[in-house]
Structure 1
Amino acid sequence: MFSTIDYVVVGVYAVTLFLLAQWVSRERAGHHKDASDYFLAGKALPWWAIGASLIASNISAEQIIGMSGSGYVIGLGIASYEWMAALTLILVGKYLLPIFLKRNIYTMPQFLEQRYDHRVRMVMAFFWLGVYVFVNLTSILWLGALAIQAVTGFDLVYGLLALAIFAAGYSLYGGLKAVAFTDIVQVVLLCFGGFAIAYVILQDVSGHTGVWKGFSMLMEKAPEKFDMILSPDNPNYKDLPGISVLVGGMWIMNLSYWGFNQYIIQRALGARDIGEAQKGIVFAAFLKLVMPIIVVLPGIAMFVMNSHLSSPDEAYPTAMKMLPAGLMGLVFAALIAAIVSSLGSMTNSISTIFTMDIYPSFVKADKRRDPVVVGRIVAVLAMVIALVTAKPLLGNFDQAFQYIQEFTGFFTPGICVIFFMGMFWKKTTASGALAAAIGSAVLSFVFKMAWPGLAFIDRVGLVFLLCVALAVVISLVEGGKEQRGAVDLEDISFKTSGGFNLAATVVVLILAALYATWW
């Protein structure tokens, strides 16, 4: 369990992060923090902050604890969520970011109003608020508190409170700037801690004869855990249905998350310019390639060492207990870093959507308060709601990561249809977009009830195609004319730098090698 030196390491991390956040959030004399400063970091983020913040926001308790749990049950196949995300990021940087930055937007709902109408903006704004608070924020808090309890023995309630207070304390004043500029520290700590635990656990597996020997022994003792493309007779096929992870519904899941998710894309919207945003995207793509070492490998190793854990999500916390004093504190600090970074990012995105999309629609201009003040109040309220609802919503799931993917899979097909058709088909109407959004949830529910054997990733792909057809039919019935807010692609340059193109090629080659090795 935790020793004095472990507590000292965690304490030093917490104090350092808090002070750093306050330092980067400071304002020039006479300058008043406005909405652009608070929600988009003054549109001055450099590439390294964008890339680090993308990963720090993404890799949290739901990834580290949840994906390690899925690695324990499924194996390396779950790494497809990470590796395919690297390629998805490249596509987002080349084809989607130029459109968003050209529109000079703060939020995804704002783009939807520019392209469609106010109804679409409001529907999606309220939807995202609900998902961010009751799915994402609650899962980060709950799994983080579980990890704290497993490693230190702290009561769950105290763990939840400590995470919420700490995350609010370091991010509330500075907003996105505080989150993004401290995330480079968070990512360094996360990677160092993740590689440290992988090193220790592989050494233990090999009997201290070497890391590569330990990895080879994992493949020898549990070869079924190293199948990237699962066969239909695999007991976990329903979670990862074979080739669909490469050509099916996982693309819809990834594009929705990395391309149309306020929580993620907000970092790129705060870039100095398109070139800086694309460099940050490439940086994040390379980091995603190594993430399975941190979030999947410990789960596989724990299966080999202890295949009788009471819950798969105990795999990572159990692995942490194997670490020596001091190093355990460092790895625990890395886990806390991932959790509080995601909490800070999530609450900032929640406050951005409420303040920029919902608040102006219900409060007259002469009665509105300072948007920065409103944003801070909303961030606190969101955290309080998540604290209260975390246990009732997530207390009964043993693979929280799979629960999150399954739930979001009800809505991602419609989200992708709304954005893709809004960007690339000028005749898509607002009614067609709303039909796709509503149809996504309805069709997903119908298929889940009527066809329970259908893998949810396949369901996502099928529902996406049906929602495209629905949006097309309704748009054509309404006249099939070019819409007033249609995106003029001729005014947008999709040309990327030589460095971006080279990086994209390297990512593709690495992915091809990985899948060829563990097909």
Structure 2
Amino acid sequence: MSDSVLQTAVFVLVSALIGVLTYLKCRGKSDRSGSQNREYFLAGGGLSWVFVAGSITLTNLSTDQLVGMNGNQMALLAVWEFSAIIGLIILAKVFIPVYYRYGCTTTTELLERRYHNKHIRAVIGGLFFLGNALIYMPAVIYSGALLMQTMFKVDIPLIQIAAVFALVGAAYAFFGGLRAVAVSDTYNGVLVLGMALLITFLALYAINFDFSGIPAERLTLIGDENSPVPWPTLLTGMIFIQMYYWGTNQTITQRAMAAPTMEEAQKGVYAAALIRFLIVPAIVVLPGIVSYKLYGDIGDTAYGRLVGDLLPPVLIGLFAAAMAAAVLSTYNSLLNSATALYVCDIHEAYVSDKPDVVKLSAWVTLLLSALTLILVPVYQQADSIINLLQQLNGLLSMPILSIFIVGLLFKDVDARAAIIAVIFGVLFYGSLTFEFSPLYTTVHYIHLMAVTLFSCVAVALLSNRFIFGKQHRWAGKTLELPASS
């Protein structure tokens, strides 16, 4: 049997096994409450802490992390993962209690409750939706296709590989709903983490665990002003980036909101934080550092080339199954959360309050998948996909986070003031970070995120007072208020 046939057989068998295990776990466990939204988007509230942890981990950990972070070929990128632990703790201690108290299906439902206005929910839900559609989904599909192309050293055009991922992912998200996505995420997560740890060990073994000859700036965790993450940014925008991503981002929090109780959700989030501390930093930077010693500065192709050179042929198929699972799991999660945002925040509020959720989700999934493929060539032009992602993320993250902060900490803020602040934040951050703008500055984008956040909070409160004539009040013990407040 040739190596290629063996690899293909292993890939198909492992993928099929995970599919069967997922089916057996999900069979007969649909929600009996009659709520299509709750079953399709929150798994009927039936995810145990194990599946919450597994789904959060693999939703975040995909090829954009493994390819993008290792593509920087330096240890410094690990600070993203270590700081993410703080974001997960904030999710568990601050956001989960309030989401469960308000019975939210989407994170943006909390905004509707706090501002007593459906329009702000639709605006922020629309921004989340656009973030998934224009930033995260194309990046995941592009990075997954790039990894497969470089790892197998095939001459197939990258867009064709991306199309296969997008089509399979769309079918899976449509037929599975969140329950199947979360369960398969967990099974896939065991495989992905196991294979990623194996790659890390083989990479270290290839250089005899000897880092000599690698420039010091590629081994340090303290970045200077010219690095991707200068150390002062840890004191400014970094914590707010993590607070946004883990605490308000629908794609992540949707898993935590799908547990039967708040306590079960918190256990899952703490478990995800432990996995991130013990495993994730090593697997997203060490292979990249080793590749620098072996091949030099080769950017985002580093991880795929290392895998292709170090793994024995019999394991290539297994690794391909793991990486395909990581791509599809993240893509499925993004599709499911984007669909939830459109159905719950926009369609039910403005088009029909009782849609056929499954049929509507199919159309949204189809359109998002087509848009993903259109945008893949844009990401091919990026020098570093992970750095591009983080910079683009600032357009939405800080304006959105500011409105959550204002909504939770203050009363009597007009929703229109919050919407003004969001629009201001998007334009303000974009004018400072993109070179075509006359206000462009060379200040690091993470610093600018902190500036944007506080500016948006100020604009919301000032607009509330001077445009709409309302005086905001400190909410005090906001998180203890009942849902009717």
TM-score, normalising length: structure 2 = 0.91
Q: Is the 8 A contact 2:54 2:186 kept in 1?
A: yes
Hey, what does 1:307 align to over in structure 2? 296
Aligned residue identity for 2:367: L
For 1:46-57, what aligned pairs fall within 5 Å after superposition?
46-57=48-59
Q: Deviations over 1:265-322 (max 9, x none)?
A: 100111111100110110110111121211111111101111142xx00010011112
SS in 2 for 1:354: helix
Q: Deviations over 1:343-369 (max 9, x none)?
A: 11011001111111111133244xx53
- How far, CA to CA, are the matches of 1:219 and 1:435 in structure 2? 53
Hey, what does 2:449 align to over in structure 1? 460
Distance 1:431 1:29, change over 3 A: closer
Aligned-residue offset at 1:482: 5.5
Aligned residue identity for 2:300: D
Q: Deviations over 1:175-210 (max 9, x none)?
A: 00001111111111111100110111111111xxxx
Aligned-residue offset at 1:28: 6.0
Is 2:418 aligned against 1:433?
A: yes
For 1:389-428, what aligned pairs fall within 5 Å after superposition?
389-391=375-377, 393-428=378-413
Aligned-residue offset at 1:479: 4.2
Is 2:9 aligned against 1:19?
A: no
- How far, CA to CA, are the matches of 1:79 and 1:436 in structure 2? 32
Hey, what does 1:353 align to over in structure 2? 341
Q: Is the 8 A contact 1:115 1:487 kept in 2?
A: no
Is 2:315 aligned against 1:327?
A: yes
Hey, what does 1:105 align to over in structure 2? 104
Q: Is the 8 A contact 1:27 1:33 kept in 2?
A: no
Q: Is the 8 A contact 1:440 1:463 kept in 2?
A: yes
Gaps of 5+ in 1: 207-213, 494-519
Is 2:130 aligned against 1:130?
A: yes
Q: Is the 8 A contact 2:213 2:293 kept in 1?
A: no
Q: Is the 8 A contact 2:461 2:472 kept in 1?
A: no
Structure 1 range deviating more: 28-37 or 58-67: 28-37
SS in 1 for 2:274: helix
Q: Is the 8 A contact 1:249 1:461 kept in 2?
A: yes
SS in 2 for 1:218: coil
Q: Is the 8 A contact 1:24 1:177 kept in 2?
A: no
- How far, CA to CA, are the matches of 1:461 and 1:131 in structure 2? 19
Aligned-residue offset at 1:338: 1.0
Q: Is the 8 A contact 2:395 2:429 kept in 1?
A: yes
Hey, what does 1:224 align to over in structure 2? 217
Q: Deviations over 1:474-495 (max 9, x none)?
A: 23334444589998433479xx
Distance 1:123 1:324, change over 3 A: same
Distance 1:363 1:484, change over 3 A: farther
Distance 1:28 1:291, change over 3 A: closer
Structure 1 range deviating more: 410-419 or 27-36: 27-36
Report the aligned-residue RMSD: 2.4
For 1:148-297, what aligned pairs fall within 5 Å after superposition?
148-152=148-152, 153=154, 154-206=156-208, 214=209, 217-218=210-211, 221-232=214-225, 235-236=226-227, 239-245=228-234, 247-289=235-277, 290-297=279-286
Distance 1:488 1:336, change over 3 A: same
Aligned residue identity for 2:165: L
Hey, what does 2:8 align to over in structure 1? 7
Q: Is the 8 A contact 2:49 2:267 kept in 1?
A: yes
Hey, what does 1:45 align to over in structure 2? 47
Hey, what does 1:146 align to over in structure 2? 146
Aligned-residue offset at 1:2: 6.0
Aligned residue identity for 1:14: S
- How far, CA to CA, are the matches of 2:39 and 2:142 in structure 1? 30
Give 2:479's match in structure 1, choosing from 478, 489, 496.
Answer: 489
Number of residue pairs aligned between Structure 1 and Structure 2: 471
Distance 1:229 1:308, change over 3 A: closer
Percent sequence identity over aligned pairs: 27
SS in 2 for 1:265: helix
SS in 2 for 1:45: coil
SS in 2 for 1:172: helix
- How far, CA to CA, are the matches of 1:471 and 1:43 in structure 2? 35
- How far, CA to CA, are the matches of 1:345 and 1:41 in structure 2? 13
SS in 1 for 2:231: coil
- How far, CA to CA, are the matches of 2:28 and 2:465 in structure 1? 52
